[in-house]
Amino acid sequence: MNPSGGTGQVGPLAGLRIVEFAGIGPGPFAAMLLADMGADLVRLDRPGGADPYSKTVVSRGRPTVTVDLKDPADAAGTLALLERADALIEGFRPGVMERLGLGPDAVLARNPRLVYGRMTGWGQDGPLAKSAGHDITYLAVTGALAAIGPAEHPVPPLNLVGDYGGGALYLVTGILAALLSAGRTGRGQVVDAAICDGAASLMAMFSELASQGRWTDQREANLLDGGAPWYRTYPCADGRHVAIGPLEPQFYALFRRLAGLDADPDFDRRDDPEMWPVLRAKLEAVFLTRTRDEWCNLLEGTDACVAPVLTLSEAPGHPHLAARETFVTHDGTVQPAPAPRFSGTPSAIRSPSGPLSLSQAIHRWSGEGSFRS
């Protein structure tokens, strides 16, 4: 497998045509995923550029067309491009595309099969729909942020849970589902992907546990939030950390044996929350007796469920990730390889041909695509 691919490989979405209106965060990330899977994307960006973050990795795999959507000629050209597309991605505030003459009514009237993907924080309606926000504020109202971090205060988990987990991944899922529907019915539709909705959806398991009385609103007091002493990170003698997660009894028993904890009866009471502070303190002392790599030499690769906490610069060198080519170097930049993997139609990082004009983009989609039967 060569996940950095080049132009010779095509993925499972080969032939799918998508127009991406450049933005920041989850919209470009969703477009990257679709491009990795073989979709043919054209990224429309305003003069001067709208996205200061997506330069080489998140913007990979698609050419950019500079357009001024307030210019009547560029707006008309954009509509002509959308007539030839299977889907679009836009992440403006509600009402912006409509004011530009590119809202769903106008576009679907000219291309009834189009899937219109809308990526926002608050969604297309509701009291906050037109308000500004960011990942941290969308997580704050869903219960997700309150559950993450130490007991003293919540900590934003980068912008992974909101922008990318609850946003981009739900947008991709919605677009692909709507494309399946359009293939059956001949009718496109709007996909309203709101980060607040997706983040709330990601909390389904914890809603389930709360309904059973097995999850509390207190941070660092539950099974998976760092409260359980056997599901958290610990500093080692060199200041680096290990992550442990022997949840199942048999894995916990092996962890105890390999870590030399069998003789301490306190560790028999692993499921007693009143003992958790005691066990955490004991494990903190134990892990400080060796370096991170010494602990990993002893425990990693066993069913004790222990791994080193690696930095982003260390991760590509981990033996397992290196063997799977989880990270690749493409155009001189180390970056994550496409995911997931397909046995018959492998994804690839494709190098775009370079910037296009709007007329060139329209011309390259002048024929019928394979998704437009």
Please state the three-class secondary structure of 251-310 as a single string: HHHHHHHHHCCCCCHHHHHCCCHHHHHHHHHHHHHHHCCCCHHHHHHHHCCCCCCEEECC
The amino acid present at 123, given as its one-letter code, is G
pLDDT at 9 over 50: no
Query: What is the mean predicted confidence (pLDDT) over 197-207?
Result: 98
C-alpha 56/C-alpha 53 separation (Å) is 9
CA 136 to chain centre: 15
8 Å CB contact between 361 and 43: no
pLDDT at 7 over 70: no
8 Å CB contact between 346 and 9: yes
Query: What is the mean predicted confidence (pLDDT) over 199-218?
Result: 97
pLDDT bin (cut points 50, 70, 90) of residue 253 is very high
Query: What is the mean predicted confidence (pLDDT) over 69-95?
Result: 96
pLDDT at 370 over 80: no
C-alpha 199/C-alpha 337 separation (Å) is 25
**Higher-confidence position of 350 and 302:** 302
pLDDT at 367 over 80: no
Q: What is the pTM of this model?
A: 0.93
8 Å CB contact between 195 and 165: no
Closest Cα to residue 26, out of 88, 116, 119?
Answer: 119
pLDDT bin (cut points 50, 70, 90) of residue 280 is very high
In tens, the pLDDT along 115-171 reads 999 999 999 999 999 999 999 999 999 999 999 999 999 999 999 999 999 999 999
In SS3 terms, 62-111 reads as CCEEECCCCCHHHHHHHHHHHHCCCEEEECCCCCHHHHCCCCHHHHHHHC
pLDDT bin (cut points 50, 70, 90) of residue 372 is low
8 Å CB contact between 261 and 267: yes
pLDDT at 8 over 50: no
Where along the chain do its domains lie? 17-203+322-364, 241-308
In tens, the pLDDT along 89-120 reads 999 999 999 999 999 999 999 999 999 999 99
Residue entry with tokens 């207190």: 218
* CATH architecture for residues 17-203+322-364: 3-Layer(aba) Sandwich (3.40)
What's phi and psi for 236, nearest 5 deg? Answer: -110, -175
Query: What is the mean predicted confidence (pLDDT) over 24-41?
Result: 96
Catalytic residues, which ones?
A: 134, 163
pLDDT bin (cut points 50, 70, 90) of residue 3 is low
pLDDT at 355: 86
CATH class of 241-308: alpha beta
pLDDT at 369: 54
